[in-house]
Amino acid sequence: MKARVTVMLKTGVLDPQGEAVRHALGTLGFSGVTGVRQGKVIELDLDASDRAKAEADVKAMCEKLLANTVIESYRVEIL
Amino acid sequence: MKARVTVMLKTGVLDPQGEAVRHALGTLGFSGVTGVRQGKVIELDLDASDRAKAEADVKAMCEKLLANTVIESYRVEIL
């Protein structure tokens, strides 16, 4: 079973990486980019068979390791 | 208009970050994680109105800046 976790900074949290990308895109001539937010995507191969248990496990992984829940939000997809 | 770019290492390219996460998950007691791949997700706010042009522009951004196409593959979604 495969799971995909998307971790993004919470709205309102300054994203210096995103700002740097936006600035660089402007320098490269890509006008019209009004905002950039960058996050992580983590694809996990799980040898689980029960979808609900897999989702609960992945959420626990996010809470413990994959996301800094103070400033980041995460989304779990079981594929 | 919003676009989402997902950048992942190409299959076969060693992912040390993913290995580190897999190891850490094991240490935290999450057995059953057989593989981890980590990539980037970039959300762009575009003041474009034409979807096709926006998609073409974002692909050009990926080729020039957002992805290292030698070792990474990217996927563009216009939201």
- pLDDT at res. B20: 96
- pLDDT at res. A60: 97
What is the rounded CA–CA span in Å between residue A17 and residue A39? 9
**Which residues on B lie below 8 Å from A38 (Cβ)?**
40-43
List pLDDT tens digits, range A20-68. 999 999 999 998 999 999 999 999 999 988 999 999 999 999 999 999 9
Q: Domain spans of chain B?
A: 2-78
Judge whether B42 is closer than 8 Å to chain A, CB to CB. Answer: yes
Identify whether the C-beta of residue B7 lies closer than 8 Å to the C-beta of residue B42. yes
A17: helix, coil or strand?
Answer: helix
Nearest alpha-carbon partner for A76 in A42, A38, A37? A42
Indicate the residue of A33, A36, A61 with minimum beta-carbon distance to B30.
A61
Mutate to test the interface with A, among B5, B44, B45, B59 (most CBs of A within 10 A): B44
- pLDDT at res. B59: 97
- pLDDT at res. B40: 97
Class of domain A2-78: alpha beta
Judge whether A16 is closer than 8 Å to chain B, CB to CB. Answer: no
What is the rounded CA–CA span in Å between residue A31 and residue B39? 26
Distance of CA A45 to the CA centre of its chain: 17
Query: What is the ipTM, given to two decimal places?
Result: 0.90
Identify whether the C-beta of residue B71 lies closer than 8 Å to the C-beta of residue B10. yes
**Which residues on A lie below 8 Å from B38 (Cβ)?**
40-43
What is the rounded CA–CA span in Å between residue A57 and residue B28? 12
Distance of CA A39 to the CA centre of its chain: 4
List pLDDT tens digits, range B32-72. 999 999 999 999 999 988 999 999 999 999 999 999 999 99
Closest-CA distance, A7 to chain B, in angstroms, reads 8
- pLDDT at res. A65: 97
Identify whether the C-beta of residue B38 lies closer than 8 Å to the C-beta of residue B21. yes
Indicate the residue of A24, A34, A42 with minimum beta-carbon distance to B65.
A24
B5 forms beta bridges with: B42, B76
List pLDDT tens digits, range A62-77. 999 999 999 999 999 9
Average pLDDT over residues B24-38: 95
